[in-house]
Chain A
Amino acid sequence: MNNILLIDFGSTYTKITAVDVDQEKVLGTARGITTVETDIMDGLNQALTALFAKTGRLEFGKVLGCSSAAGGLKMIAVGLVPEMTAEAAKRAALGAGAKVLKVFSHELSEYEIEEIEELKPDIILLAGGTDGGNQKVIMHNAKMLAGLNLDVPVVVAGNKSVTPKVVKILSEKHTEVRPTENVMPKLDELNIEPARIVIRDIFLKRITEAKGLNRANKMVDRLVMPTPAAVLKASELLSQGGDGEPGLGDLMVMDIGGATTDVYSIAKGDPTVGGVSLKGLSEPFGKRTVEGDLGMRYSAGALLKAAGAEMIASYAGSSPEEAAAYTAKVEADIDYLPQTDIEANIEIAMGKACVRLSTDRHVGHLETYFTPFGTSYVQTGKDLTKVAIVIGTGGVIVNHNKPEEILKGIVFDETNPQTLKPRQPDFFIDKDYIMASMGLLGEEYPATAVRMMKKYIVNK
């Protein structure tokens, strides 16, 4: 018998999954309240008691954890041009599982430095300039960041020609300054893996301690990564396979929360039709985007603004007034659950709108140029029209009785054909809520994690 315990310290709940690795079986799942303010072990013990009540007492050969507790991994990204190195830095931070508080571009001002002090990021990612390109702005920004009234770990991932100078300036103020490869070494060429690795390393070594998560070390062997990074890892494994176990190819994962909506796509996203040329910054194969204005509770008001009452009402079969009133109600009372059929329908409609708008922003877009010799097309971002597997995870989807209705927002819209969303996807639900756990398991047993996800999630 080889049992492993996988823990996800979430913002509200501490979710645990016990896995028998030899049998490739989930022995049980349970949850407790996340108690990071007092002692994180309290909530974990609560979850363990609930688990053992179902399974009987278990011994674990290994315990791995991920965390989005205590605000998650809060980062800011700094770059030069918004669509270029600033965007590349943002993507690197998102790929590392961070919550990106804000992205800054061009030369930082004193006001922006004050703003960063107020935002209190856990890590700053500093980029700017291609290799051999602009030096002035990243040097300026290093000096400004050295004037911060905070000691924050800084990852330097900009123009390599000045990296040593930048590190030196920052080290005068900040204890942990870590140089790595440029996030955009050449124009439009994205290189986020090295920055991701360094961010994760800092998370492991410093952030967990700073947030009091290290108290869990009594029991947890390794707190490996932020929760979104674990979900990304699981998605990549399921798509690409691991250790001889084949993957399922291109896929997308949706996670709607109270405040944000996360979208993951594991796909190259090359054009699926002929005669299309690509433009812009290259796309990460495993891409994560987070929408801070699309969510079911804290962001319900922002969702209403982004979607419009008409969109939600048309999905729900209600009046726009009813849709607006319900979103206001749940934003004010975040524990509220729908009580009537209309409310239940509006709740589904809100989820569907979150899915629709977040994927509209995540996927690539096609622009058409008309010439006398016919039409020519330019694609920016990923073409995900052929993606056939869409997985729903996260509390809102997993605990819903009609999760497929919510996920339908991801489907290609004939009236908006330039937005390259999946045309005919199959929907799967992470019913046992094990996606993040499988990302953790995949650290040690990739093939087992792939087989278990096939068994527990992508089965019809």
Chain B
Amino acid sequence: MTNKVKVVLGVIGADCHAVGNKILNHAIAAAGYEVINLGVLVPQEEFVNAAIETDAKAILVASLYGHGEIDCRGLRDRCREAGIEDIKLYVGGNLVVGKTDFDEVEKKFLGMGYNRVYEPGTLPDVVIADMKEDLK
């Protein structure tokens, strides 16, 4: 394969919103990364396993359907357990139900061990700029 930096992408839990996933996959690949796209309905364990085997530098988790808080909790611990404690974790989508103050949401997810947390409707350019900075 290539020497491109690899990132794992997927929509977590029982969430099957597929459109944003396809857009992100396309945009991040076009920016020069190798995207290991796990698609929708992805359990935490699969994110971790995929990252281990492929030696990915970041896991990008999406959650659109409102159960983000439950689904995303514990992913950092799983990574620690699996020996990839230094991997970057990004999360975005519609992380909680309804209109909650985003600062609150961000604080909560940072506390759960995510490195970056994105607001609903974030455009791919924003995350790609962050990746350029974080994944060298």
Contact = CB atoms under 8 A, between A and B. Distances in A.
A80 interface: yes
Interface size class of A (residues with CB under 8 A): 20 to 34
Interface stretch (A126-134, A234-242, A417-425): A126-134
B1 A187 contact: no
A256 interface: no
Interface in B33-87: 34, 36, 39-41, 49-50, 52-55
A184 interface: yes
Contacts of A369: 14, 16, 41
Given A84-B49, A369-B41, A134 B14 contact: no
A382 B52 CA distance: 25
Interface string A259-283: 0000000000000000001010000
B55 A134 contact: yes
Nearest to B48: A81
Categorize the interface residue count of chain B.
10 to 19
A235 to B, nearest CB: 30
B2 interface: yes
B53 A184 contact: yes
A85 interface: yes
A11 interface: no
A135 interface: yes
A132 B49 contact: no
Contacts of A279: 41
B16 A130 contact: no
Interface string A72-100: 00000000110111000000000000000
A130 B14 contact: no
A130 B2 CA distance: 12
A376 B53 contact: no
A129 B16 contact: no
A38 interface: no
B49 A133 contact: no
B47 to A, nearest CB: 11
B6 interface: yes
Interface string A112-139: 0000000000000000011111110000
A292 B6 CA distance: 39
A84 B14 CA distance: 22
Interface in A362-396: 369, 371, 376, 378
A80 B14 contact: no
Contacts of B55: 129-130, 132-135
Contacts of A277: 39-41
Interface in B1-27: 1-3, 6, 14, 16
Given A133-B6, A187-B36, A81 B1 contact: no
A351 to B, nearest CB: 36
Contacts of A81: 49, 52-53
9 contacts: A130-B55, A132-B1, A133-B55, A186-B1, A187-B54, A277-B39, A279-B41, A369-B14, A376-B41
* A-B pairs with lowest CB-CB distance, top 5: A132-B1, A133-B54, A133-B55, A134-B55, A81-B49
